[in-house]
Amino acid sequence: MKIFRHYQDIPEACKGAVVALGNFDGVHRGHQALIGHARALAEQRNAPLGVIAFEPHPQEYFRPSAESFRLTPFRVKARLIAELGVDVMFALAFDAEMAKKGPQDFVMDVLVDGLAAGCVVVGGDFRFGKGRAGDVAVLAYMGEMEGFGVEVFAPVLADREKISSTHIREALKAGKPEEAARLLGHVWAVEGRVEHGDKRGRTIGFPTANMRLTDCLHPAFGIYAVRATVLENDKPVSTHEGVASFGIRPMFKTGEPLLETWLFDFSGDLYGRHLSVALVAYLRPEMTFDGIEALKAQMKKDEAAARAALAAAPLSPAHVGERSG
């Protein structure tokens, strides 16, 4: 998949594409279906299949100091979109210039003059342009005037409710990774570089790989059954089962939330390497213990619970969900 961070001077081979347009945070089942519809149209037209998204996410531009909320930062989003067979991704900078474009300017500058889009596929609630003034009716009208098609894709439902990134965030915040996975179509994961920690886990027989989640959603604090994949150059090298703790470690009063992952039956050095940790099941909230021996006893119980949860959870194709660090 080719990736462009601009809409000017696009090669002729990438123009005339059928483009799916949206934020696509999470690349969930609804996004996958919308892009799949665009792919079918592209095949009918013998045209390239494209995706238009914005970086940073518009919410990050307008609320830079807000808590991180993203399910899929750019590199992970691009990887997931590429897996859907997309030919070209236009990851357009959402900056002051983009923010001030009215709906007509966006259509003319980006879709017509820049990309020469053949057809644009959006969800029914799509809004665009300064102040979110444009909607699907405006887009369809301008498409008719300027000679490009517009397809409005019906939402994908789960339990008669629209699948949305907001619902997935709420599930993860509530300690329901299984529900998030059902809506996503894949297990949600966090990705980052393994850091040196205080090595306390190693001294009690449970060495952990430590990661800070600095630019993504923070799930519920607690203990999780996980599958972790070691990455090299964004490619999976090996996958291991384990148990992970995310939180502030109330017993040791860690100030900043930390993800600590203990991989079962693993030996080797992970410091400085990239790890993708998929949260398969939530086991329990954080706890405070009377001492180290009580903590070790609980960790053995957590290991048994994690192994049982992982044995009951089917393996699925590897998907990387988040990047930090």
| Residues taking part in catalysis | 260
Q: How far apart are CA 69 and CA 219, in angstroms?
A: 10
Among the listed residues 69, 76, 56, the one whose alpha carbon sits nearest the alpha carbon of residue 277: 76
Given 3-state DSSP classes, what are the helix, strand and coil percentages for the chain, each rounded to the nearest 5? 35, 25, 40
Q: How far apart are CA 82 and CA 299, in angstroms?
A: 39
Torsion sign across C-alpha atoms 30, 91, 83, 13: positive
Among the listed residues 257, 250, 213, the one whose alpha carbon sits nearest the alpha carbon of residue 68: 213
Q: List own/partner pairs for 241-245 with CB under 8 A and 24 or more apart.
A: 241/306, 241/307, 241/310, 242/266, 242/306, 243/283, 243/299, 243/302, 243/303, 243/305, 243/306, 244/208, 244/277, 244/279, 245/208, 245/286
